[in-house]
Amino acid sequence: MKDNVQQEKGNKWVTRISYAIGAFGNDWFYAVLSTYFIMFVTSHLFGKGDNAMILYITNIIALLRIVELFIDPIIGNAIDRTKTRWGKFKPWIFGGGMVSSIALAVLFTNMGGLNRTHPFIYLAIFAVLYISMDIFYSFKDTSFWSEMSSLTFDSGEREKISTFARIGSNIGANLVGMVIMPLVLFFSLTKNGGSGDLRGWSMFGMITAAIVIITVLVVCFGTHELDSDLRKNKEETKLKDVFKVLLGNDQLMWTAVSYGLYCIGINIFNSAELYYFTYVLGESSKFAIIGTINMILGFFSISAFPALAKKFNRKNVFYACILIMFCGAGLLAIAGKNLALVVLAMEMFAAPQAVIFLVILMTITDSIEYGQLKLGHRDESLTLSVRPLLDKLGGAIAGWCIGPIAILSHMTSGYTYKTITPGNVMTFKLFVIALPVVLILLGTFFFWKKVTLTEKRHAEIVEQLEKSWGEKNDTSVGTGEHAVAGEYDIVAPIKGTYLPLKDVSDQTFASGQMGQGFALKPSDGAVYAPFDGVVRQVFPTRHAIGIESEHGVIMLIHIGIGTVNMHGTGFVSYVEQGQQIHKGEEIMEFWDPAIKKAGYDDTVMVTITNTKEFDQVDVLPKDNQTIDSSTNVMKLIKN
């Protein structure tokens, strides 16, 4: 483990930057596919009046993306089973990135005029290319974000890598909006009222493919997967299992319903913005303004989220963001051709989206413990898989809508902003402004009425799980057997001054409900493994950890009293559930001044939760004795 940590420190900046570049390419591709590809289909792929072909294409795209939801579990399982000299994820990042980017570049063409000479052959080839592109992108996307778990075992470093990745994602997703029309128009032979031509869009497709390939190579050469027993024995995720978890976990289900409606609404609105600039304003080149401001505001909104959530709580932040979005939608409805008002309206709608995403992500993550308490088992991977499924479903349904909306509004090939009538604009606004508002309002209603999982409630749930840990809601990944007969000397996992467990202020521990043990007033923030064994559970707030020795001794190490309310601030975990640990290895670290500053008791409590399995349990230290991490503190005997 220490060797891994040293290796990570030596390469951490290369890893962070390489991974951020990978996130940039990943989200550039996704933005092009989910937001701008449909503009190419409706405006340039077919001639004026070829509405049937546009509908065929949009139906094919939507149906294939929905079918792909059922393929995703197979993709995840295939990735989990991958074993190569290059690691588990890199082959899929490389292969998936190459195939999907080349396929997308081909889709941004008319395939040599096949769309006009043999339209149904074109549709068949399009369908095969699109599903292939989407599947290989899913391989790459799933592998890319999964690779983060293999880059480091340090949760603090993971947070840094995640932050870099989020910055890269923000730049990639929004830079597309800044450059797409300038690039398309630069390479176009005819401007077509500001929408460009087939040549311009095809060149943009090739540029996108080149960007993806370059960023994929950076990830493959700039990151290194660390091997661990932690990453083995993954279970296959099946779509039916996702629905089973949804139905059993009502907080996850209602959050999913809310977010699903929200996703459809924002995808319709976001996809329509370029249409507005092209066909209403006649200023497609100025669409770059939106991408530029989105990128800048994205940094501020992401950075501001922790402080906002702490001061106002997540749900209030969510409602405030929704209100701002509704004000933006209302302003766009009356903005007409006033560029300043249009930009302001679209930014009011766009800026809160990153914050809402984080609120939903945190709520879904918290629902893991809610489900664990309610159902008696922990469904971490299945719960977290719900959010990307909803993103894809929302994008698919929104894409299904945009084609017919463009046809009804006369915003297709052969039309320009000069031919669009006020009636066309009214039809367009009805579908791309009013419909999203209704969907988001409905989602917000469900979030307000049905989602009760606040930060305070989550902290209470974690405390309940702590009290029942080792009895119900057992997440053991250890031996799964009873303790083995024998005599066991247990050393202290932390340095400090001994305190009898009965004297601590937490009655759950003082009463012996959590098993016999001892307490310490810490003199150091490092926590070491007291024996060889396996991690049974790292609590989400990182203030407690459950471990099991190779002989079946189950220990809970709990840092502080009331520290669950710190939500992980000041705590770092170097291990994860299922990871093998060795005696003397540092498994956790905490910043004691942070606990005291927050007003909580920093007493560390250590208990043997399966005390009843032993015939004799002796706690060895005396009151106020100074304890070192190598001091024998307990003797356990099982006949």
Supply the pTM of this predicted model.
Answer: 0.79
pLDDT of 7 higher than 50: no
- 80 touches 234 (CB < 8 A): yes
Query: What pLDDT, on the 0 to 100 scale, is given for residue 238?
Result: 57
Tell me which long-range contacts 445-450 makes (C-beta under 8 A, separation of at least 24).
446/254, 446/257, 446/258, 446/261, 447/254, 447/255, 447/258, 447/315, 447/318, 448/315, 448/319, 450/250, 450/254, 450/257, 450/258
The architecture CATH gives domain 1-236: Up-down Bundle (1.20)
More confident residue, 382 or 53: 53
First to last CA, the chain: 34
* % residues pLDDT > 70 (the chain): 92
* % residues pLDDT > 90 (the chain): 50
Residue 305 CA: distances (Å) to CA of 24, 131, 219, 402, 440? 21, 36, 28, 31, 21
- 324 touches 352 (CB < 8 A): yes
pLDDT of 619 higher than 60: yes
pLDDT of 481 higher than 80: no
> CA 209 to CA 25: how far, in whole Å?
10
Strand order in the sheet with 601-608: 580-581, 533-538, 544-549, 554-561, 601-608, 516-522, 496-499, 626-627
For the ranges 46-60, 220-234, 309-323, 366-380, the lowest mean pLDDT is seen at 220-234
- Please state which CATH number belongs to domain 475-638: 2.70.70.10
> CA 132 to CA 135: how far, in whole Å?
5
In this chain, the answer to whether the domains covering 1-236 and 237-453 adopt an identical fold is yes
- Please state which CATH number belongs to domain 237-453: 1.20.1250.20
Residue labelled with tokens 């939903």: 360
CA dihedral 120, 125, 130, 132 (to 10 degrees): 150
Residue extents of the structural domains in the chain:
1-236, 237-453, 475-638
Tell me which amino acid residue 401 is.
C
| Catalytic residue positions, numbered | 558
CB atoms within 10 A of CB 89: 28
Strand partners of residue 604: 520, 559
Strand partners of residue 486: 638
Q: How many CA atoms lie within 13 A of 472 on its CB side?
A: 10
Size of the chain, expressed as the number of residues it contains: 639
More confident residue, 144 or 319: 319
What band does 242 get if pLDDT is binned at 50, 70 and 90? low
Residue 182's contacts (CB-CB under 8 Å, 6 or more residues apart) are 285, 288
- 490 touches 619 (CB < 8 A): no
- State the average pLDDT for the chain: 87
> CA 335 to CA 340: how far, in whole Å?
9
DSSP strands (E only) in 387-539: 486-491, 496-499, 516-522, 526-528, 533-538
pLDDT of 235 higher than 60: no
pLDDT of 9 higher than 50: no
Query: What pLDDT, on the 0 to 100 scale, is given for residue 65?
Result: 79
- Alpha carbon 195 to chain centroid, angstroms: 34
> CA 92 to CA 136: how far, in whole Å?
8
